[in-house]
């Protein structure tokens, strides 16, 4: 137990070797997803023994064909069915002294070196209604896209630029002092200063929430008046607001003024619940709850009595489970969800019978 009373988890060498072997299997199958690449990077970073264990796995297994037979039967069978060979076995027999070189090649192939040189990279990232996606970018930053989100990524040696066209995204930015990470949303530039933050576009309003570190918002930048708004990244001057962790800024396209406010830890958890496939509410108005629900569902919810929209909702809901959401609303608020069509629901107040 540590001095501060926290419990320290001790992992045995056998446990670490087992995890390394499991990663070797996944690497052998090839084509890691963005989520798997992110998971591997975090596994390597959490304990220096992990990388050593992975290197040792290569060093002691000189006969890679025998390794595939002993430790990767599923991968071997899949290769035989597909008529191909895996990344490891295609190399054939490798001396143990070259195993570390092979491992380095794999790390480079999957972008797992934090200090690799800048790369040019461009991508169009999009999610459909009810879809969520996590993407590991080439600089090891992570972009998590909420439902119905579209953004464009342009990386070059001069900078890392993202254009958020619609929706909501959470960015965990890797530190790179030579290339500023900047997001353009509704005509405003948001510059990361070693940080994690959320940018959400809701019609003509944009909300920036800082979850870690700091961001600088250029509140006076209008994309319609600048040929390339990203040219203003890194410059100083009026109209720039520095936000710290625990703060959020709201601005509208049609209004120059901005609102800065603090948020509590509970609000932060609720704000990012979508990254875990949930919606969490604590006393929010039903009107606001329905608006958030609509971001993840094709179901349109309407109110028969206007006063229903003001009722307060508290609960933890699973995204995508429309029926469970409607049932919980019915029980907790004393309303009836009437199906008008496959895509429309009308909420009606229920007259409670007196005992």
pTM for the model stands at 0.66
User: Mean pLDDT over all residues of the chain?
Assistant: 76
What does the angle CA 53 – CA 55 – CA 59 come to, to the nearest 5 degrees? 110
* Residue 164 pLDDT class (50, 70, 90 cuts): very high
| pLDDT at residue 325, rounded to an integer | 92
| pLDDT at residue 87, rounded to an integer | 47
Task: Average the pLDDT over 31-35 and give the result.
Answer: 70
CATH number belonging to the domain at 277-349, selected among 3.40.190.10, 3.40.50.300, 3.55.50.30, 3.40.50.2300: 3.55.50.30
Dihedrals phi, psi of 50, to nearest 5 degrees: -65, -50
* Residue 153 pLDDT class (50, 70, 90 cuts): very high
pLDDT: which is higher, 59 or 19: 19
Q: How many Cβ atoms are within 10 Å of 154's Cβ, its own excluded?
A: 14
Task: Average the pLDDT over 64-69 and give the result.
Answer: 48
d(CA 227, CA 231): 9
Least confident of 145-159, 215-229, 253-267: 215-229
Residue 231 in 3-state DSSP?
A: helix
Residue 77 confidence (pLDDT) above 50: no
Assigned fold of 121-266: Jelly Rolls (2.60.120)
Residue 116's nearest CA partner among 136, 142, 138, 143 is 138
pLDDT digit string, tens, across residues 78-130: 444 444 444 444 443 333 334 444 555 555 455 554 444 446 888 999 999 98
């Amino acid at each position: 137990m540590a001095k501060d009373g926290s419990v320290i988890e001790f992992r045995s060498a056998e446990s670490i070797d087992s995890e390394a072997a499991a990663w070797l299997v996944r690497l052998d199958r090839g084509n890691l997803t963005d989520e798997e690449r992110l998971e591997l990077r975090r596994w390597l970073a959490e304990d220096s023994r992990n990388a050593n264990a992975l290197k040792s796995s290569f060093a002691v297994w000189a006969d890679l064909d025998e390794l595939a037979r002993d430790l990767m039967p599923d991968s071997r069978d899949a290769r035989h069915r597909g008529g191909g060979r895996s990344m490891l076995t295609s190399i054939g027999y490798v001396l143990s002294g070259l195993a570390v070189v092979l491992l380095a090649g794999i790390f480079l192939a999957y972008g797992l070196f934090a200090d690799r040189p800048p790369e040019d990279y461009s991508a169009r990232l999009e999610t459909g209604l009810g879809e969520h996606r996590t993407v590991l970018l080439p600089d090891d930053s992570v972009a998590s896209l909420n439902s119905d989100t579209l953004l464009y990524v342009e990386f070059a040696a001069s900078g890392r630029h993202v254009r958020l066209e619609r929706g909501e995204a959470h960015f965990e930015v890797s530190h790179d002092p030579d290339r500023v990470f900047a997001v353009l949303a509704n005509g405003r530039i948001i510059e990361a200063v070693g940080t994690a933050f959320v940018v959400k576009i809701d019609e003509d309003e944009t909300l920036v929430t800082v979850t870690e570190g700091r961001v600088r918002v250029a509140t006076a930048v209008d994309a319609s008046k600048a040929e390339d708004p990203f040219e203003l990244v890194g410059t100083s001057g009026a109209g720039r607001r520095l936000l710290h962790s625990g703060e959020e800024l709201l601005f509208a396209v049609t209004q120059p003024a901005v609102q800065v406010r603090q948020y509590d830890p509970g609000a932060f958890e609720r704000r990012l619940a979508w990254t875990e496939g949930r919606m969490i509410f604590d006393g929010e108005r039903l009107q606001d709850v329905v608006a958030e629900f609509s971001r993840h569902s094709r179901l349109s919810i309407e109110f028969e009595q206007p006063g229903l929209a003001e009722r307060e909702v508290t609960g933890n809901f699973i995204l995508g489970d429309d029926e469970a959401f409607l049932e919980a609303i019915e029980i907790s608020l004393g309303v009836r969800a009437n199906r008008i069509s496959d895509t429309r629901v009308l909420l009606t107040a229920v007259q409670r019978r007196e005992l």
